[in-house]
Amino acid sequence: MFDNFSLERIDAGEVTLRVRHGGRGPAVLLLHGHPRTHTTWHRVAPLLARRHTVVCPDLRGYGQSTKPPTTADHAPYSKRAMAGDCVELMRTLGHERFAVVGHDRGSYVAFRLAMDHAEVVTALAVLDSVPIGEALARCDAKFAHDWYHWFFFAQPDLPERAIGRDPDEWYRIGDRDTPQRLGAENFADFRRAIHDPATVRAMLEDYRAGLGVDRAADDADKAAGRTLACPTLVLWASGDDMADLYGDVLDVWRPWAPDLRGGVIESGHHMAEEAPDQLTRALLDFLPA
């Protein structure tokens, strides 16, 4: 897994991030979602590394990155804080400008990174998401039913107890997620993370920040008419529910992204694991050479 990549723990200021990086060429940062770690990219990163320098961190709180204490407003787990970690990480590795790709929760970090640090982001790709503010503004009974976990995870203490009783059952180990489907090393890393109570609490803090400070950041940008300054690619999985929720997913993104393109990947939600070749082709066609 990750042949010819380096594995390091890198000081990013407030946190230390576990990071894999390798390849040659223009830099691209890959950000995982919940409840994965950076190893979710193990089938994509080596393919991208033929033409790009690829950097894959565990986001703060996730995997083996450090987990800062939280606050009442959950701001230490905001996407703004995570985006700041990423800028510091990339500078430490010598990359002043780079592209960023984010999946699921990582896509919110990628979006916030491109909004807050436009001067460093050459291109943005988001996978299976719309901005948090847009998702909550459109929230209806279907969203509340199908994405109930957003609201359950935001409750104090109860989700930690529910997940902690049987993490394998909560995350459907042996059903949807298996060593055969994820790859043995990726599966082991994912399973280690969900069995760590500190990691579970930090992942939930990510969701708690989402309903508060993250939504406020999106809403403030929208009210001010701020948009993305870089080319933007939006991809969504055919087996996920983005089209069911939003119809034309690109319509949601158009007010945010003047230079927008995108489309469907034939896959389930975890497209980096399930459709790595198709995803890599789409990214290589888009990323700056």
Q: What is the pLDDT of residues 18-27, one digit of tens each?
A: 999 999 999 9
For residue 139 the two structure tokens come to 């929230």
**Under CATH, domain 6-286 is a member of which superfamily?**
Alpha/Beta hydrolase fold, catalytic domain (3.40.50.1820)
pLDDT at 175 over 90: no
> What is the pLDDT averaged over residues 42-71?
98
Q: Is the pLDDT of residue 289 over 90?
A: no
CA–CA distance, 242 with 79 (Å, rounded to integer)? 21
Contact 261, 286 (CB under 8 A): yes
Q: Which of 32, 42, 95, 269 is catalytic?
A: 269
DSSP secondary structure code for residue 196 in this structure: -
Q: Is 34 among the residues known to form the active site?
A: no
Is the Cβ–Cβ distance between 284 and 257 less than 8 Å? Answer: no
From the list 104, 128, 189, 214, the catalytic residue is 104
166 is catalytic: no
HSE, side-chain direction, 13 A CA sphere, residue 239:
8
Mean pLDDT of all residues belonging to the chain: 97
Q: Is the pLDDT of residue 176 over 90?
A: no
260-265 β-sheet, strand order = 6-11, 16-23, 53-57, 27-31, 98-103, 121-127, 232-237, 260-265
Report the 10 Å Cβ neighbour count for 205. 24
Residues 130-171 have pLDDT tens digits of 999 999 999 999 999 999 999 999 999 999 999 999 999 999
Residue 90 has pLDDT above 90, yes or no: yes
Residue type at 137? A
What is residue 92's predicted lDDT score, i.e. its pLDDT?
98
